[in-house]
Amino acid sequence: SLTAGIVGLPNVGKSTLFNAITQAGAESANYPFCTIDPNVGIVEVPDERLNHLTTLVKPKKTVPTAFEFTDIAGIVKGASKGEGLGNQFLSHIRQVDAICQVVRCFDDENITHVSGAINPIDDIEIINLELILADLETVNKRYQRVEKLAKQKDKEAVMEYEVLTKLKEAFENEKPARSIDFNEDQMKIVKGLHLLTSKPMLYVANVSEDDIVEPEANEHVKKVKEYAAKEDSEVIVISARIEEEISELDQEEKTMFLSELGIQESGLDQLIKASYSLLGLGTYFTAGEQEVRAWTFRKGMKAPQAAGIIHTDFEKGFIRAETVSYDDLVEAGSMTQARENGKVRLEGKDYIVQDGDIIHFRFNV
């Protein structure tokens, strides 16, 4: 399954956030297929639609879908040159699908900052530069060989040479690969390079408890947002301390606590949702008297593949997918009524599953 890695300089609040994630953690009994690794935290994906389906269908059990975060400690300046745990750090980043970069936006005299003062943009640039330098090395390793082949007019080499040149230029200007536009064919070449800076990036601005109600007033947050906008990245504002406290509460207490603070949704829930959509993930549902359940799929997946997420037999013996969209079901009020309205479709093997679909798979055993 896809995972988002949590990175950041020392003392920015990574461990505090990761503690919140593991404490809020999902019951692993529901997710036996998830990774068991101390550096991986499994959370449930909050979804209003699942709650509503539960009130409509009244099943014995409701199961949300899960998402994994990986804690990646150990970035320091010079990581791309092997400083500190540099190489290990970079190889861990290579394994994740998206990066959540925690940025310190809280002032606290008691907690030292690695560079002395709080400057989120400097911090971001330290980390991003290490990733860019590692990618530059990857590109340089191929460059000369491909250049030679390209001069001999080898068609594929010419195209790769173009891509590598573009990347090299971007990296030399300290720009990440994700900031460059490539066409579909070029994108295939970029994917093959397994670059660190082509992974989607989400900035997590960690503010103090006092700033969470009005994060816009925090100058550091403003700067992070400006920076992120330039490279089309998103920013989530959280207070890791508050998230750690919230993670110890049950659902009812959590709702009360949040409304006292005047916020709608916890930072962690926002982070889960944002990471999920950053990775191009969607949710479909299965709904029966026994169980209403949410399932994660990659957008663009066809029905048999999506069925395979539940069980490989569902994919192998796939016949059809009885499908109703969430909005149609809610409008009808019940599955029976949705059927009468003609809203339950019989979809075949080429159907591209949509976010919010409620599906009953028919399959041969």
Binding region for ligand GDP (CB under 6 A): 8, 10-16, 106, 108, 111, 206, 208-209, 239-241
Q: Is 16 annotated as a binding residue?
A: yes
CB 296 within 8 A of CB 281: yes
- Tell me the residue type at 51: N
**CB closer to ligand GDP out of 72 and 335:** 72
**CB closer to ligand GDP out of 13 and 200:** 13
- 342 φ/ψ sector (left φ>0, alpha ψ -120 to 50, else beta): left
**CB closer to ligand GDP out of 19 and 30:** 19
Maximum alpha-carbon separation in the chain: 69
Question: In whole angstroms, how close is the CB of 262 to ligand GDP at the nearest point?
Answer: 17
Question: In whole angstroms, how close is the CB of 212 to ligand GDP at the nearest point?
Answer: 8
**CB closer to ligand GDP out of 75 and 329:** 75
Helix (DSSP H) and strand (DSSP E) numbers for the chain? 14, 12
Question: In whole angstroms, how close is the CB of 218 to ligand GDP at the nearest point?
Answer: 11
Helix ranges, the chain (H): 14-23, 48-57, 86-95, 120-151, 155-172, 184-192, 219-230, 240-246, 251-261, 267-278, 303-310, 312-316, 326-332, 335-340
Question: In whole angstroms, how close is the CB of 207 to ligand GDP at the nearest point?
Answer: 6
Q: If we measure between CA atoms, which residue out of 67, 109, 280, 93 comes closest to residue 198?
A: 93
Q: Is 15 annotated as a binding residue?
A: yes
Q: 57: Cβ–Cβ under 8 A, 6 or more apart, which residues?
A: 287, 288, 289, 292, 335
**CB closer to ligand GDP out of 14 and 220:** 14
Rounded distance between C-alpha atoms, residue 14 and residue 132, angstroms: 22
Question: In whole angstroms, how close is the CB of 27 to ligand GDP at the nearest point?
Answer: 25
Q: Is 235 annotated as a binding residue?
A: no
Rounded distance between C-alpha atoms, residue 37 and residue 21, angstroms: 14
Q: Is 192 annotated as a binding residue?
A: no
List, in sequence order, every residue forming a beta bridge with 347; answer none if it has no partner: 321
User: Strands 66-71 and 40-44: what pairing?
Assistant: antiparallel
Question: In whole angstroms, how close is the CB of 14 to ligand GDP at the nearest point?
Answer: 3
**CB closer to ligand GDP out of 245 and 313:** 245
> Which residues are annotated as part of the binding site for ATP?
11-16
